[in-house]
Amino acid sequence: MRGLKGWPTYLFLALIVLIAAFCGNQFNMSISQDIYTNAAYTIGFVLGFFSLSIIFFACYFAQKILFSDAESGFGQIVFATPIHKKAYLAGNFTAHFLLSLMCFVLVCLGFGIGLNLRTGVDMQPVFSWGYYLYPLFVFGVFNSLFVCSLLFTLSYLSKSKLTVLLGAIALYIAYMLLLLFSSSPFMSGSMPQSIGMQKISSLLDPFGISAYFYEAQARSVDAKNLALQPFSGFLLINRLLYLGLAVGCCLIGYDRFSFASASIRRKVKQPLTQAAPERQSMPYKKIAAVFHWEARVQATLSFVKIDLSYLSRGIACYGISMCLLFAIGMEMYAEIEKGIRIPQKYASSGLLSAAIIENFQLLGMLIILYLTNDLYWRSWVSGFSRLEMTTYYNRNKSLGHGLSLIVVILFFTVLLVLEAIVFQFAYGYLQFDWAAYAGVLSFTSLSLILFALIILFINSTTANRFTALGISLLVFLFLGTFFVKKILPNPLFHFFLPYEEGYSDFSGYSAYLTAYLLRTVFGLSLIGLCYALASLGFRNRRLIKISAASACLLASVLLAWMYSKEQHFQSKKAGYLAAATYEKLYRSYDQMVLPKIVRLTTEVSLYPSQQHYRIQGSYLLKNEGQGPMDTVLINFHPTLKLLQSALIMGGDTIQVNTANPLVLLPKSLSPGDTMLFNFDLSYNWYGVNAHDPFNVIMNGGSFMRISRYYPQLGYQQDAELTDPNLRKEYGLGVGRKENPLVGPEVQKNDFIDLEMKVSTQADQAVVASADLVKDWREKGRHFYQFSAQQIPFRFALSSASYQIKTCYHRGIAISVYYHPKHSENVEHLLKNAKLSLDYCIDQFGPYPFRSLVLAEIAGYTKGFAGTAYPAAVFMPENMVFHANLHADKHQDVINEIAGHEVSHLWWGNSQIDPDDRQGKLMLTESLAMYTEMMLYKKMYGQSGLQRQLELHAQIYASAKGLQVPEPLYMVSAGNTHTAYSKGALVFVKIADLLGEVELNRALKAFLIANKYPKKPTSLDLIEEIRSVCKNEGQFRKIENLLKEAESL
């Protein structure tokens, strides 16, 4: 316990409480709208995650307690006393364990304080000490015992602090890898693992969190909110297993411990058998000292040589290299092998480089933090610094350390890139993209170099090694992790955070690279300013130092101005305020009677290389109501710039602007009358802002759900804030609820005719959600004319340097637009598109368009595996389009995506347009899932269908415990696992009860009876199914499947 008293320790403990309280009060811990933030389940797994901090605490106290006697030589004094090693080791271990556990108790205390200071609808009015004591026991006590016993054993086996540090890092890596194969709600939702893999993960997870998630899957929402997780099953087995391992580690450490450390054994002196040699005088001469730049360079390089020699001869470099290769290698493997839902991805350079960039940054900063502290204070620990400080070029030592750290960072970068190349060879994907690998240097290495410089600065300006280490850890915590986003939301200050947007074979790193480099230079200027100001304490060359400080300050200010103004940073808070203001001003116009958009004539000019597009358009507006209209509310999307807009009514022109979107017409628009609305809009995207996944305009590959960004008429409910806490913060009251299922029948004539002209760069092709009329080239640009009649106001387009493959089937032109390097699945996609069209046309009715385009889009578009629009289906490159189907024949996602998305041209908005109320997703997603299942059966038989049903049963079982169960016919908009997985299971069961032919007959009748402009509901479909049932008993079984929440 020596060396642990004093204000640094008390400050450290206070910071633990404050940081934990900040986390509890500020962080978004919600995993479902039905599970409270202060639910027993939520507190349990959050504190389980926080128990990872025990690694840090135990590692820190191991340095202070387990090595203190050996370093001071006090162990030899203890050896000379009657104290038995059993009592000595028991005391050391108990102190180590209790101090580590005490820190976690402070974490729980701070978290509980912060959490209970929160207010909002996500907090239940229930408090129980058990919610905090349970994870403190299950995670805190057990994990402290295991971590401390492991580090205790490593410390006495190796007698090396570095080995202890590497062991701590290995523990963290092991947990993160096992979490990939757990039933964690953060990981298994998109990439579910098999039940067997989840069980293995539950047993092997050293922290027990995977077992906690696994055992909690089947529990209801009410149980998760109010009751503690039973300490049984795999959770109990896991805890007992690691308790046994902790005892085993302690016994090994006890057995191998010896006071007579090998590091302090002295060699036995040999007796002198020879006479001392006769002393001889040596000639010498005076040499004049020369101080110039060459000598300074040589002195600096000598420091570099000493550092690198020290690192290469010790186990540090080798141990860290092995840990890095293992950790990042497993992340690469996890990116390639995606579990039971998504097939193996091709081991492309972009995929692997993105894995390095996303995961190397955090580990790299921890490594640099340790190495910097070790290199800088090595000579102080050994006592050599007193001699070293007498040399003229001693001040070059820090420069030498900085250069050494740069070499180390580049070494680790190259090592990981070589590992990625090995992965490419191992998986047989030999298309190397060196621009992708260069991004590792730009996004990660440069950031780590900045971090090394600031940590070196802290060490060089601090008088104590451990004080420097503590300050360095705080800098890492508050500037190198997610804390910085809370403290400094402007991304200009996020130069230590990893780049997380990925890589696209279409667009590379796009404008993100420029913005990130600008941010890095800003960080360099700030660090340079710190060094320049610190150097002013030395009297020599003050003018040069003042000039350097002024230059760094000026550069910082200039770069901040460029980043914030020229790059047009948009803060989230500004968006929240705009949404709240809009609702307060215009919600009263929610029921305003509006003219109908009869026809849209538009021209879209795309400039992908400039991240810019322009929209010019004209609405033909018609009053189809029963009375006159004298006011129109016209909304413009806040991210687009309005160049001009005007309403033309007879001979009158009314200018419209964003400041006053409520337009008073010069005269009333009578029923049946029309008017024009002309507009001109532009959009620019800047790399400083995270891109909108549905509005991606980038060189190489663009995708826009562009109908979202056209002017909208009437009050826009979608613009409202939905987060209950944000609504409370901005004084908006209770949010809007989904319309109830039961209500009057709705018929609404809101489809439009679309005439759209699109132009793009000469080397790119355009796909739009309409039939292509013609394309031509003019003035160095590629033009397209598209046309569609009676479609919803929902259309999209993409532009890229596509390869195109087209075939004709049943008079329909089927085309696949894809990246030239992604041709592997094109033929299979065409085959499945034909199969899907055949089934849907034969079973449900004619296809409503002349063509069908299946387009691959850049991976920067996220949020879906595929999305269907009139005459077009878009699929991101990094989800399923570019998947290695040959790796597992049972994961034919191309068949799934083709069947599902093509069927949406029947079960979507193209032929029916369900009313916006409960159960809407059953008429779109559930019916598309049913069609997908039937097409999978046609391709792979009953056994293939059974595998798919088992998969969706597992997905539904793992997700249903996170939301209050809903009957399928009343499924809400956010309940995707019910609409998709349960929907597939229910409708396949209905097909088994009725027969596939009879169910399809009911679906076809429903489609005919409920075509636009009628707005059907799920009750309409139930009535059609009832009409084909053989008897009332059969219908009751089907009704139970559709109307009971727990029907499966």
132, pLDDT greater than 80: yes
Q: What is the pLDDT of residue 748?
A: 67
Question: Residue 9 is inside which H or E element, if any?
Answer: helix 7-26
The closest alpha carbon to 450, from 518, 557, 392, 528, belongs to 528
Q: What is the pLDDT of residue 76?
A: 59
How far, in Å, CA of 814 to CA of 902, rounded? 11
User: In the beta sheet, which residues pair with residue 618?
Assistant: 601, 678
Q: What is the pLDDT of residue 189?
A: 41
Q: What is the pLDDT of residue 486?
A: 79
User: In the beta sheet, which residues pair with residue 504?
Assistant: 508
Greater confidence, 730 or 282?
Answer: 730
505, pLDDT greater than 60: yes
Q: What is the DSSP letter of 960?
A: G
Q: What is the pLDDT of residue 262?
A: 38
Q: Name all domains of the chain by residue range, CATH numbers in brackets.
A: 12-256 (no CATH), 300-476 (no CATH), 596-714+753-796 (2.60.40.1730), 802-906 (1.10.390.10), 920-1043 (1.10.390.10)
Q: What is the pLDDT of residue 268?
A: 44
Q: What is the DSSP letter of 269?
A: P
How far, in Å, CA of 300 to CA of 285, rounded? 27
pLDDT band at 263 (very low <50, low <70, confident <90, very high): very low
Q: What is the pLDDT of residue 265?
A: 41
Q: What is the pLDDT of residue 8?
A: 67
| 407 and 445 Cβ atoms separated by less than 8 Å | no
Which range among 18-32, 429-443, 468-482, 955-969 has the greatest average pLDDT?
429-443
Q: 1013 phi and psi, to 5 degrees?
A: -95, 10
Q: What is the pLDDT of residues 341-389, one digit of tens each?
A: 778 889 999 999 999 999 999 889 988 998 898 888 887 766 676 666 6
How far, in Å, CA of 217 to CA of 377, rounded? 50
Q: What is the pLDDT of residue 957?
A: 81
How far, in Å, CA of 662 to CA of 700, rounded? 39
How far, in Å, CA of 1013 to CA of 950, rounded? 38
127, pLDDT greater than 70: yes
Q: What percent of the chain has pLDDT over 90?
A: 35
Q: What is the pLDDT of residues 792-830, one digit of tens each?
A: 888 999 999 999 999 999 999 999 999 999 998 999 999
Establish how many alpha carbons lie within 13 A of residue 654's alpha carbon, considering only the half-sphere containing its beta carbon.
Answer: 20
918, pLDDT greater than 80: yes
889, pLDDT greater than 80: no
Q: What is the pLDDT of residue 568?
A: 60
Q: What is the pLDDT of residues 548-595, one digit of tens each?
A: 777 777 877 777 777 666 556 566 788 888 889 888 888 888 888 889
How far, in Å, CA of 834 to CA of 836, rounded? 5
Q: What is the pLDDT of residue 83?
A: 64
Please tell me whether residue 565 adopts helix, strand or coil conformation.
Answer: helix
266, pLDDT greater than 50: no
Q: What is the pLDDT of residue 707?
A: 92
The closest alpha carbon to 856, from 694, 690, 708, 703, belongs to 703
Mean pLDDT of 1041-1047: 83
User: Which range (681-690, 728-737, 883-892) has the least confidence?
Assistant: 883-892
Q: What is the DSSP letter of 508?
A: B
Mean pLDDT rounded to a whole number for the chain:
84
Which residue type is seen at 831?
Answer: K
Structure tokens belonging to residue 667: 């005269």
| 377 and 459 Cβ atoms separated by less than 8 Å | yes
Secondary structure tally for the chain: helices H, strands E: 35, 22
How far, in Å, CA of 475 to CA of 454, rounded? 9
| End-to-end CA gap in the chain | 59
Q: Where would I find the beta strands (DSSP E) of 226-286?
A: none
Predicted TM-score of the model (pTM): 0.83
Q: What is the pLDDT of residues 399-442, one digit of tens each?
A: 888 999 999 999 999 999 999 999 999 998 999 999 999 999 99
Q: What is the pLDDT of residues 110-119, one digit of tens each?
A: 999 988 888 7
Q: What is the pLDDT of residue 472?
A: 87
The closest alpha carbon to 535, from 475, 469, 457, belongs to 457
Q: What is the pLDDT of residue 155?
A: 81
182, pLDDT greater than 80: no
Q: What is the pLDDT of residue 747?
A: 61
Q: What is the pLDDT of residues 737-748, one digit of tens each?
A: 878 887 776 666
pLDDT band at 494 (very low <50, low <70, confident <90, very high): confident
How far, in Å, CA of 44 to CA of 215, rounded? 13
Q: DSSP string of 749-813? A: ---EEEEEEEEEETT-EEEESSEEEEEEEETTEEEEEEEEEEE-S---EEEE--EEEEEEETTEE
How far, in Å, CA of 184 to CA of 960, rounded? 13
1039, pLDDT greater than 70: yes
Q: What is the pLDDT of residues 509-558, one digit of tens each?
A: 988 888 888 888 888 888 888 888 877 766 666 677 677 777 777 877 77
Structure tokens belonging to residue 312: 């290469």
Helices in 392-464 by DSSP H: which ranges?
396-426, 434-440, 446-460
Q: What is the pLDDT of residues 608-630, one digit of tens each?
A: 999 999 999 999 999 988 889 99
